[in-house]
Amino acid sequence: MNIPKSSFPRIVIIGGGFAGIALAKKLSKQEVQVVLLDKHNYHTFQPLLYQVSTGGLEPDSIAYPIRKVLQDFPNFYFRLAKVSEIDTEKNTIQSNIGALKFDYLVVASGSKTNYFGNKSIEDNSMEMKTIPQSLNLRSLILENFEEALLTSDLNRRNALMSFVIVGAGPTGVELAGALAEIKKGILPKDYPDLDTRLAQINLVQSGDTILKTMSPNASKKAEDFLEKLGVNVWKNVRVTSYDGTTVTTDSDLTFESETVVWAAGVKGAAIKGLDAEQFVSRGNRILVNEFNQVKGIDNIFAIGDVAQMESESVPHGHPMMAQPAIQQGKLLGDNILKLLDKKPMTPFVYKDIGSMATIGRNKAVVDLPNFKFQGVFAWFVWMFVHLFSLVGFRNRTVVFINWVYNYIRFDREARLIIRPYKKKLKS
Ligand SMILES: Cc1cc2nc3c(=O)[nH]c(=O)nc-3n(C[C@H](O)[C@H](O)[C@H](O)COP(=O)(O)OP(=O)(O)OC[C@H]3O[C@@H](n4cnc5c(N)ncnc54)[C@H](O)[C@@H]3O)c2cc1C
């Protein structure tokens, strides 16, 4: 990898997501050598991926070059590399660009989609965890409308204009709301010769509540908002298979749809060498102690989505969200420095600053620890928080201008098929 030898201890970080970047920033200007490895050369702001999928934002406004984050830090090295294996005995990682020895290793590789072993859904549905996947979805949605215009087969036309989103967590809810707004505001203008009223947006949830990690009020209000926007919310329905056209469920309900988005599960992106049963939870997250140390290994840590820190209050670990990842990254930076100074490390305590979801224009739900609210004010709070959480001044400016423009013009101008998507060529 051509990383120079150094008298400083070498800390290797796998993943430049929320956790990895927060840690890297904490270690800047310290007497350590930091090597950050990521399979992408950019950091992705995942909470706004659904806006890329629905033409509200260009992909480059939610991505930020990792090299730029690190460019002012001495002793920092970035390599574009996919890590394939960790040797915990020899303190080495293997990747597509070679091997690297470490003194300390931090796994911050995030999560991946969990299909719970359902092959038909994995093969035929769309996922939305990366920018390329969001672009695939954007292309597919638009290609389907183009095809709907051409076909004279009514059943096929309906299937091309019908969407099924599986999983009514924040991702599913936000995507469903955005699609409903496109149906109402954009499709009739773009496709005047197509009866776009027939477009169906179905949000399917296996449990009896949507946004189940939020307050009952937020959940109820979000459902009202979705119904007002024309989304069909199906609760207590479990999707069992999808062959590319027909979605079957555990009830009599079936859907004919050419676009199924799977937002119903994630699992830790544990890496070979740390993915054996003794290291991971049922959700494939690496088990760590209160210092984010991998159980039984002093110099290897896991943070963010990939880490499961179990305690009495959180028996399944902290939520797979940006805040726990950022907070763990920051604390681990301090703790590694303490470890090097032979001082005791500080245990991680998660500070829950709340959660939120937007359903559409002027419609959002916000749960703060002491204050819960919904509607227009919540929507402004949602926008403000997301805008200021984005990495980079340019991204914030571009997103802000886009949002103002979209708000005034009722528009989403990034509805472009730049990279046509062929269903069989899923990547
Ligand atoms: C669509 C969507 C919407 C979301 N909305 C919200 C929200 O509104 N609020 C919220 O708090 N959270 C939200 N989340 C969750 C949030 O994005 C994650 O909890 C957060 O990104 C976790 O940070 P992380 O650093 O652990 O992982 P990530 O940010 O996923 O970063 C992991 C990094 O590791 C890299 N990587 C993975 N494997 C390897 C490998 N083998 N080799 C090299 N590099 C590797 C990846 O390329 C990536 O850059 C959302 C997630 C998604 C997918």
Cβ atoms of residues 270 and 85 within 8 Å: no
What is the whole-number distance in angstroms between the Cα of residue 342 and the centre of ligand 1? 32
Position in ligand 1 atom list of the atom nearest CA 271: 41
| Exposed / middle / buried, residue 162 (Cβ in 10 Å: 0-12, 13-18, 19+) | buried
Extended beta strands in 135-230, E state? 162-166, 200-204
The pLDDT tens digits along the chain (427 residues) read 999 999 999 999 999 999 999 999 999 988 999 999 999 999 999 999 999 999 999 999 999 999 999 898 989 999 999 999 999 999 999 999 999 999 999 999 999 999 999 999 999 999 999 999 999 999 999 999 999 999 999 999 999 999 999 999 999 999 999 999 999 999 999 999 999 999 999 999 999 999 999 999 999 999 999 999 999 999 999 999 999 999 999 999 999 999 999 999 999 999 999 999 999 999 999 999 999 999 899 999 999 999 999 999 999 999 999 999 999 999 999 999 999 999 999 999 999 999 999 999 999 999 999 999 999 999 999 999 999 999 888 999 999 999 998 888 888 889 999 999 987 644 4
For residue 33, the one-letter residue type is: Q
For residue 281, the one-letter residue type is: S
Rounded CA gap, 25 and 16, in Å? Answer: 11
pLDDT for the residue numbered 74: 87
Of 49, 109, 266, 326, the residue with max ligand 1 atoms within 8 A of its CB, to mutate for a pocket test, comes to 109
pLDDT for the residue numbered 358: 96
What is the whole-number distance in angstroms between the Cα of residue 20 and the centre of ligand 1? 10
Rounded CA gap, 143 and 420, in Å? Answer: 8
Sorted by sequence, the CB contacts under 8 Å of residue 213 that are 6+ apart come out as 169, 319, 355
Sorted by sequence, the CB contacts under 8 Å of residue 39 that are 6+ apart come out as 80, 81, 82, 83
Q: Return the ∠ at Cα 45 (arms to 44 and 49), rounded to 5°.
A: 95
pLDDT for the residue numbered 427: 41
Rounded CA gap, 242 and 260, in Å? Answer: 8
> Which residue lies with its CA nearest to atom 29 of ligand 1?
17
β-strand pairing of 104-107 with 246-249: unpaired
β-strand pairing of 266-268 with 111-113: antiparallel
Strand partners, 62: none
Rounded CA gap, 69 and 180, in Å? Answer: 36
Q: Over the range 299-336, which residues count as b (16 or more CB within 10 Å of their CB) and which as e?
A: bbbbbbbbbbbbeeeeeebbebbbbbbbbbbbbbbebb
Q: Quote the pTM value.
A: 0.96
> Which residue lies with its CA nearest to atom 5 of ligand 1?
47
Whether 85 is a known active-site residue: answer no
Question: Residues with beta carbon inside 6 Å of ligand 1?
Answer: 14-20, 37-40, 46-47, 49-50, 82-83, 108-110, 128-129, 170-171, 269, 271, 304-306, 320-323, 325
Strand partners, 144: none
